[in-house]
Structures are given as structure tokens and as C-alpha cells.
Chain A
Amino acid sequence: MSDDGMLAEVDSLREHTIVTLNKLTKDIKRQHKIMERSDKRQQREYDELQKKLQEVEELGKEIAQTQREVVFTMGAIAESRSKETGNHVKRVAEYTYLFAKYYGLPEAECTLLKQASPMHDIGKVAIPDAVLNKPGRFDEAERKIMDTHAQLGYDMLQGSKRTLLKMAATVAYEHHEKWNGKGYPRQLKGEEIHIYGRITALADVFDALGSTRVYKPAWDDERIFKMFREERGEHFDPALIDIFFEHLDEFLAFRDTLKDVVS
């Protein structure tokens, strides 16, 4: 190769190198810029995401709270139409939670049952006033009408897709069934009765017996306990009666904190 040829090649190499180096310089500067901008952008996006997440969380909480309030209000309406008063619904809620917990249901399910069980008598909103508010005892025809409240409650709630309302539908439907098959409306027996129904039945009766009503004084504890022992495996699920006596102090503690104010 001639010197000229070599020089030309070196020149071209130099030019090429300069171009490459310039590009490299540009790239490095650029890279720096890109990283800086990206960091800034990502930080802002992160902030935005966090904000939105928080909004969603708060919305979720609000929905859950609204649901609880609606359900509780429905329960209260039902109670106001039955002859029960005061904190009955709240106590039943707490008792059903305790039963569910010691029966071994998962925590989330226990909490749901606590919210659903106050609606057990929701069907009573559909019972005519003349029957519902009748002073004194019901005759047989009236008793039959009263008993439809279980089916009515179920009919009202069963259409819902919400877990909580579906559970409430079961509770309304089965809270007057008895372990021995002599309850209503379907005369279900033993474990045919859903655990939610069995639990609410016992919680409801326990509270009704221990409360003063217009038509009856409160039973004393010994009388209730005696009745529970007799009805173990008859009216009530034996496993639940056992749980009741085993954790009696906890049930009584709730009863004390949620006592009806005597006027």
C-alpha cells in the first residue's frame, strides 16, 4: 500500500473515530438525561398510583361500612316490628360470632355471620300489622302467619349475589329449624340445617329467654341452662350447646356489656 493510500485510510479512520466518539459523547449525555427524567417521571407516577390506591382502599372501606349499616338497619327494622327490643340484635350478633369462632369457622366467615345474623327476622316486615301487633297470644291461624316470616325473609334476600346477603337469606330461612326436625318452615334435621341457621337459632333463643318482654319476665340463668341441657340434640345442635357451656363466661360478658337499659 502506498503512503498516500495509508494516509487516506488513517484520515478516514480518524473521521470515523471522531464520529463514533461524538456519538458516544451524545449517548452518554443522553443516557444521563434519560435516567434523570425517568426517575422524576416514575416518582410522580408512583405518587399518583399511591394516591389512587388509597382512594380505592377508602372506597372499599366505605362500601363495607355502608353494607354493614344497611344490614344493621334492616335488622333493627325487623326487630322494631317484632316484639323484641333494645340491644337484642347486637347481642345476637356477638353470640353468633362467638359460636362461629368456637365451632371453627374461618375468621372472615365469623365476621360475616356477625353482620348477617341480625337480619334473622327481616321477614317480619312483610307480616300484617294486625297480626304482628296483636296483644297477647296468637291463635293458630295467626301463629301460622307469623311463622311465614322465615320463608318471607329468605324470599327477600335470596336474589342477592352479595355474600353477606346470601348468608342473611340462609339465616332468615333456617333460624327456626330444630335439630330434631320439628322446626319450621322445612323441618330440616341435624346437619341439613346450615350451621348459620343452627348458630343463629341458639343465639336468638338464648337472648330472647334472658330478656324481659312485655309478655314475660326474663328467665333466670339456671332455668335457661336447664332448658338448654334438655334441648341439647332436640331443639339445638349438641355441639353448639357444648360450646355455649364451655365458653359461658364469654357469652355472659357480652350480655352484660350490651344490657338493655331498664326504663
Chain B
Amino acid sequence: MENLTLDETKYTPLIELDAAKGVIALTGKSYPENTFEFYKPMMEWMAEYFRTVAKDVTVINLEIIYFNSSSSKLFFDFFDLLDEVKDDHKLDINWIYDEENENAEEAGEDFIEDFEDLPIKLIVKEE
């Protein structure tokens, strides 16, 4: 399965999907114009990955500084997807945020609350 990388833009995060390493990483801001359209390739890649080549452990690193409300909805779908595969795959989910970014911290806490069965860890970023 091929890796998928989308470069960071002014409104969208860097997306790195590495099937060989078993890493899913999102880094940056998320203000796409058409959120679901934008994330569709990622969601499809993930579904395919877990269906076929998933590693023993998949590491998911989310470092989202700012995001709009439809991105927030997208993240629910994202965690829903993980929620569905969590019994068959070992997941290592990290919600990474800057110490100063209260919003990102709170968003991470909210997701942990909403998806209590998912092993989401809050990671404070080192300066």
C-alpha cells in the first residue's frame, strides 16, 4: 500500500500516512474550505490501511494547533473510524499540543471524554 503525504498549506495541516511504518500523523492548522472533501483521501486511506496492511501497532500523532468547527466534526469521524478498529488493532494515539495552547489542550481532553474506549494520550510538546 502506498504512503500518502499532503503538504501543509495556509489552511490545512501536514498529513503523513505511512503504511510501512504504521504511522498516521496530522500536524498544523485545519481550516479547509471543504473539510470533508479535503480529508476524504485520508479517511479512505485509513479504512484501506486497517482493512489490509495494518501494523501490529499503529501510531497516530495529532498535533492540531487550530481547527474550525467542520474539522472538529471530521475528527469525530476520524475517532469513530479508530473506534471501530480498536479491537483488532493496537493503537497508540497521541494528542500533541503546545503548553501555551489552552484550546488544543481542551480539545484533546474533550476527545478523550467522548471516546473513552480509545487510548488517547495527551502529550505536551517540548519547547
Q: How far is the CA of A35 from the CA of B68 in the complex (A)?
A: 10
B76→A30 contact, CB < 8 A = yes
B73 contacts the other chain (CB 8 A): yes
Write the chain A residue with the least CB distance to B103.
A41
Within 27-80 of A, Cβ neighbours of B (below 8 Å) are at 30-31, 33-35, 37-38, 41-42, 44-45
B66 contacts the other chain (CB 8 A): yes
- Chain A residues whose CB sits within 8 angstroms of the CB of B9 once the complex forms: none
Interface centre among A31, A33, A41, A44, by most B CB within 10 Å?
A: A41
B102→A38 contact, CB < 8 A = no
Write the chain A residue with the least CB distance to B74.
A34
Q: How far is the CA of A34 from the CA of B114 in the complex (A)?
A: 11
B76→A41 contact, CB < 8 A = no
- Chain B residues whose CB sits within 8 angstroms of the CB of A37 once the complex forms: 72, 107, 110
B34 contacts the other chain (CB 8 A): no
Write the chain B residue with the least CB distance to A35.
B69
Q: How far is the CA of A38 from the CA of B72 in the complex (A)?
A: 8
At the interface, is chain A mostly helix, strand, loop or mixed? helix
- Chain A residues whose CB sits within 8 angstroms of the CB of B110 once the complex forms: 37
Write the chain B residue with the least CB distance to A31.
B73
Within 81-111 of B, Cβ neighbours of A (below 8 Å) are at 102-103, 106-107, 110
Name the one of A34, A42, A44, A45 contacting B76, with C-beta atoms under 8 angstroms: A34
The total number of A-B Cβ pairs within 8 Å is 23
- Chain A residues whose CB sits within 8 angstroms of the CB of B73 once the complex forms: 30-31, 34
A44→B102 contact, CB < 8 A = yes
- Range for the number of chain B residues in contact with chain A: 10 to 19
A45→B66 contact, CB < 8 A = yes
- Chain B residues whose CB sits within 8 angstroms of the CB of A33 once the complex forms: 114
- Chain A residues whose CB sits within 8 angstroms of the CB of B107 once the complex forms: 37, 41
- Chain A residues whose CB sits within 8 angstroms of the CB of B69 once the complex forms: 34-35, 38, 42
Write the chain A residue with the least CB distance to B75.
A34
What would 20 more interface pairs be, CB under 8 Å, given A35-B69, A41-B103, A41-B107? A30-B73, A30-B76, A31-B73, A33-B114, A34-B69, A34-B72, A34-B73, A34-B76, A37-B72, A37-B107, A37-B110, A38-B68, A38-B69, A38-B72, A41-B106, A42-B69, A44-B102, A44-B103, A45-B66, A45-B103
Q: How far is the CA of A41 from the CA of B114 in the complex (A)?
A: 17
Measuring CB to CB, which residues of chain A are less than 8 angstroms from any residue of chain B?
30-31, 33-35, 37-38, 41-42, 44-45
- Chain B residues whose CB sits within 8 angstroms of the CB of A38 once the complex forms: 68-69, 72
Q: How far is the CA of A250 from the CA of B115 in the complex (A)?
A: 75
- Chain B residues whose CB sits within 8 angstroms of the CB of A35 once the complex forms: 69
Min CB gap B31→A, angstroms: 11
Q: How far is the CA of A98 from the CA of B73 in the complex (A)?
A: 61
Write the chain B residue with the least CB distance to A48.
B103
Q: Which 8 A-B pairs have the closest CB atoms?
A: A38-B69, A34-B72, A41-B103, A34-B73, A38-B72, A34-B69, A44-B103, A30-B76
- Chain B residues whose CB sits within 8 angstroms of the CB of A41 once the complex forms: 103, 106-107
Q: How far is the CA of A186 from the CA of B66 in the complex (A)?
A: 60
User: Can you list, as one digit per residue, whether each of B106-127 has a CB less than 8 Å from chain A (1) or not (0)?
Assistant: 1100100010000000000000
- Chain A residues whose CB sits within 8 angstroms of the CB of B72 once the complex forms: 34, 37-38
Within 60-78 of B, Cβ neighbours of A (below 8 Å) are at 66, 68-69, 72-73, 76
Q: How far is the CA of A35 from the CA of B73 in the complex (A)?
A: 9
Min CB gap A179→B, angstroms: 54
Q: How far is the CA of A33 from the CA of B102 in the complex (A)?
A: 18
Q: How far is the CA of A45 from the CA of B69 in the complex (A)?
A: 13
- Chain A residues whose CB sits within 8 angstroms of the CB of B106 once the complex forms: 41
